[in-house]
């Protein structure tokens, strides 16, 4: 599990960064992981799953799965996966392929949710207001 990371699409990296409080800026979320979980939940709610094309390598780069686990978000990742696949095998903690599939599903829903957020916030001067 330690090696797995949640990736952010390059075209959404600035949005994720802007939605996060850092360097004296105020944002609605404390961490990139918080943004990604919110975006994934929004993507699921609105049934928007979008494949990642180019992956952000810098701010924010791929986020370690352990950060999501430490914040209690592993349950959300698993719930999204089982709702999508409808097979309990996806929840296996010993099957590396299942874990990778859960992450892949989560990333696509988060990317879809970020699409929605970007469209909703288009024209907003400051995302953190």
Tell me the per-residue pLDDT of 14-54, one tens digit each, with 9 for 90 and over.
999 999 987 777 889 999 999 999 999 999 999 999 999 99
pTM equals 0.89
Q: What does the domain layout of the chain look like in residue ranges?
A: 5-121
Report how far Cα 129 is from the mean position of its chain's Cα atoms: 22
Tell me the per-residue pLDDT of 43-100, one tens digit each, with 9 for 90 and over.
999 999 999 999 988 888 899 999 999 999 999 999 999 999 999 999 988 888 999 9
User: What are the backbone dihedrals phi and psi of residue 70, each rounded to the nearest 5 degrees, phi first?
Assistant: -65, -25
Q: What is the dihedral of CA 107, 112, 115, 121, to 10 degrees?
A: -100
Dmax of the chain from CA atoms?
A: 46
């Amino acid at each position: 599990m330690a090696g797995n990371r949640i990736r952010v699409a390059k075209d959404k990296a600035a949005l994720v960064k802007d939605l996060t409080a850092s360097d004296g800026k105020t944002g609605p979320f404390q961490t990139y992981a918080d943004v990604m979980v919110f975006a994934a939940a929004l993507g699921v709610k609105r049934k928007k799953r979008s494949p990642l094309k180019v992956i952000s390598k810098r701010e924010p780069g791929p986020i370690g799965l352990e950060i999501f686990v430490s914040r209690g978000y592993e349950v959300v990742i698993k719930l999204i996966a089982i709702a999508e696949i409808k097979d309990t095998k996806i929840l296996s903690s010993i099957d590396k392929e299942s874990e990778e599939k859960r992450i892949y599903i989560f990333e696509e829903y988060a990317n879809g949710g970020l699409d929605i957020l970007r469209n909703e916030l288009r024209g907003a001067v400051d995302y953190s207001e």
